[in-house]
């Protein structure tokens, strides 16, 4: 046992096997017990040779610390601010000398999050005035419509080519289906404004907090100077751990 440097063995195994998330080596007499945790979903390649700390990406109250590699620097129930050291990549060997490692782990915390979405309730927009069909003829690629189709949004065109016996004539009858639009002043109701802002905030929540456990969700909206503003407050438990490289002098 005295001839085995356990920390060195663990570090070398982590370096050589990038699919390992955590490894523990314990010596009991002449026997060695090894426990490992593998990466189930590896999103990106990580340079395990680069020493790192784990720090907080936002403020919160720590609820769970799962340190896989490195030295835990916080405990459950502690308030932490953004940038606080959570798991240290600097440790000490049995002889008191320091070693650097690539810290890995998860630290869950209760966080309070706010977001805002706004929309102008009055604006100029284009609305459809109904579908419209215009017929015409095309002779040698020259279109002659039997009605006005300018300044209208074309939806589709259909052609019927005429023929004499087995020969197509340079003549076709066409139909243009369109939906004319006009610019007008649009005023959103407060409910319409709220639904628009809510849809934007919900979409943001799905992306940013997809792995978080949201236990409280509050919304408050109001109209200020012609603009509807919806405020969102999310209280959740999430992993706030993020890696931060350690600058080591050679």
- Residue range 92-115, pLDDT digits in tens: 888 888 888 999 999 999 999 999
Are 128 and 177 in a shared domain?
yes
Are 153 and 194 in a shared domain?
no
- Do the domain assignments include residue 95? no
- Indicate the burial class of 50 (C-beta count within 10 angstroms; 0-12, 13-18, 19 or more): middle
* Sheet of strand 79-80: strand arrangement: 79-80, 60-69, 104-120, 227-239, 213-224
- Do the domain assignments include residue 14? yes
- Stretch 38-61: mean pLDDT: 74
Average per-residue pLDDT for the chain: 80
Are 178 and 226 in a shared domain?
no
Tokens of 73: 């620097």
Domain tally for the chain?
3
**pLDDT exceeds 80 at position 233:** yes
**pLDDT exceeds 50 at position 41:** no
Instruction: Give residue 53's pLDDT.
Output: 94
Higher pLDDT, 228 or 164: 228
CA atoms within 13 A on the CB side of 250: 0
Q: Which domain holds residue 36?
A: 1-49
- Do the domain assignments include residue 134? yes
Under the banding of pLDDT at 50, 70 and 90, the label for residue 28 is low
- Do the domain assignments include residue 57? no
What's the residue count for the chain? 250
Q: For residue 14, what is the DSSP state?
A: H
**pLDDT exceeds 60 at position 3:** no
Under the banding of pLDDT at 50, 70 and 90, the label for residue 15 is low
β-strands 98-100, 90-92: how paired?
antiparallel
**pLDDT exceeds 50 at position 42:** no
Could you report the per-residue pLDDT of 200-229, keeping only the tens digit for each?
Answer: 999 999 999 999 999 999 999 999 999 999
How many whole angstroms from its chain centre is CA 44?
Answer: 15
Are 180 and 212 in a shared domain?
no
Cα–Cα distance, 82 to 150 (Å, whole number): 58
- Do the domain assignments include residue 41? yes
**pLDDT exceeds 90 at position 155:** no
* Phi and psi torsions of 203, nearest 5°: -65, -40
Instruction: Give residue 113's pLDDT.
Output: 96
- Do the domain assignments include residue 97? no
Cα–Cα distance, 159 to 127 (Å, whole number): 28
- Do the domain assignments include residue 160? yes
Are 22 and 45 in a shared domain?
yes
Structure pTM? 0.59
Are 141 and 175 in a shared domain?
yes
- Do the domain assignments include residue 78? no
Are 194 and 166 in a shared domain?
no
């Amino acid at each position: 046992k005295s001839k085995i440097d356990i920390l060195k063995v663990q570090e070398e195994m982590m370096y050589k096997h990038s699919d390992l998330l955590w490894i523990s080596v314990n010596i009991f007499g002449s026997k060695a017990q090894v426990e490992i945790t593998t990466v189930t979903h590896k999103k990106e390649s990580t340079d395990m040779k680069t020493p790192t700390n784990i720090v907080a990406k936002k403020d919160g109250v720590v609820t769970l610390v799962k340190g896989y590699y490195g030295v835990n620097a916080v405990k459950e129930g502690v308030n932490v601010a953004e940038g606080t050291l959570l798991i240290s990549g600097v440790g000490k060997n049995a002889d008191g000398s320091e070693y650097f490692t690539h810290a890995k782990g998860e630290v869950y915390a209760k966080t309070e999050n706010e977001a805002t979405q706004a929309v102008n309730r009055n604006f100029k927009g284009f609305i459809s005035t109904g579908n419209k069909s215009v017929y015409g003829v095309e002779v040698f690629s020259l279109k002659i419509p039997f009605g006005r189709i300018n300044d209208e949004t074309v939806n589709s065109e259909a052609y019927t080519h005429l023929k004499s016996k087995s020969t197509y004539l340079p003549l076709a009858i066409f139909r243009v289906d369109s939906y004319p639009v006009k610019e007008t002043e649009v005023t959103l109701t407060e409910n319409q404004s709220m639904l628009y802002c809510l849809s934007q905030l919900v979409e943001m929540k799905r992306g940013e907090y997809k792995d978080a456990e949201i236990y409280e969700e509050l919304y408050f909206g109001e109209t200020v100077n012609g603009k509807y503003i919806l405020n969102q407050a999310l209280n959740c438990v999430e992993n706030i751990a993020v890696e931060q490289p350690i600058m080591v002098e050679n």
